Structure 1
């Protein structure tokens, strides 16, 4: 009886540990070394999260971080991120519905994605940026994608919103 109880306990702990590991891909996870302030870490979800595979990124901007209307969303990423992004398959979703975009520009040389909605997104709105048809880098790693916004009629200066700490496995 004692061996049966031990086996059940060990199995339960192993299953619980696996559930926690699989959920980590949708959250920013734990930051062990330096990085953005904890309050600036943004949530995301990767459908695959595996190096060299096709993927869909869902990058979330919470409503409480967006106290100004949005005329542009700009995403910068590190030069060592060697993935491929399809600008024709980028969406902004507001209340889970895609909104019309004026233009999406992927500037590979400057490591930036610029997204322009047709109409400004109202302040205090929860936003999700969906990038489909993304080819993950051949080699995995941790990549900081920084979210910046420009407000309508504002000087052409971007305002930092936060950072998605994307983890892509080998």
Structure 2
């Protein structure tokens, strides 16, 4: 089966002149020199290939073992050189495959942060996906560090670092 798919991809490229887009282009792959320790790197997927100046959907994953505390707020920060656009109305939080109702999503362009407030705290030990749909990628490709911070209910009102998505835009 694998050989057949490889043959079809090569043949279609030769006959049509178009490359076959692979799902692997939207996955993080292996990061050797990022400056972020391996245990702090979070997995993600770019549904539409992460092409510069293109529209995309970011699926930012948080493994269950990283969710040691319940979460009342997610804060996603990104670098000042990221010049993409987000649609706060197109943000979802999925817990164990089901959408969680959100009370508010704020995008602070100057502060470079997306703040997501679930109606009910997300339980500790849950596998979480933050889905950012209708994203306009930056005009220039590069490596972008998206940091995830959380606020736990009843906790001191300081955000705690959870990890970093090391994202590559082509």
- TM-score norm. by structure 2 comes to 0.85
Q: Cα distance, 1:97 vs. partner?
A: 1.3
Partner of 1:38: 38
Matches within 5 A, 1:87-106: 87-106=88-107
What is the CA deviation profile of residues 77-113 of structure 1, one whole-angstrom value per residue up to 9, with x for unaligned ones?
Answer: 0000000000000000011111100100000101100
Runs of 4+ that moved beyond 6 A: none
SS class of match (2:166) = strand
1:128 aligns with 2:129: yes
Shift of 1:31: 2.5
Give the whole-Å Cα distance in 2 for the aligned partners of 1:98 and 1:119: 12
Matches of residues 148-159 of structure 1 in structure 2 within 5 Å? 148-159=149-160
Structure showing greater Rg: 1
TM-score in terms of structure 1 length: 0.85
Supply the distance in 2 between the matched residues of 1:128 and 1:72 (Cα, whole angstroms).
14
Unaligned runs of 5+ in 1: 1-7
Aligned Cα root-mean-square deviation (Å): 2.1
Note the C-alpha offset of 1:120: 0.3
Greater alpha carbon shift after TM alignment, 115-124 vs 28-37: 28-37
Q: How many residues are aligned here? A: 155
Supply the distance in 2 between the matched residues of 1:119 and 1:52 (Cα, whole angstroms). Answer: 35
CA distance in 1, matches of 2:133, 2:34: 29
Name stretches of at least 5 consecutive residues in structure 2 with no aligned partner: 11-18
Q: Give the C-alpha shift of residue 156 in structure 1.
A: 1.1
SS where residue 26 of structure 2 aligns? helix
State the 1:155 CA deviation. Answer: 1.2
Write the distance in 2 (CA, Å) between the matches of 1:69 and 1:124: 8
Aligned-partner Cα distance in 1 for 2:76–2:29:
20
Q: Deviations over 1:27-85 (max 9, x none)?
A: x3233334210111111000121011110000000000011000000001000000000
Report 1:9-28 matches (<5 A): 22-23=23-24, 25-26=26-27, 28=28
**1:29 matched residue in structure 2:** 29
Cα distance in 2, alignment partners of residues 119 and 147 from structure 1: 19
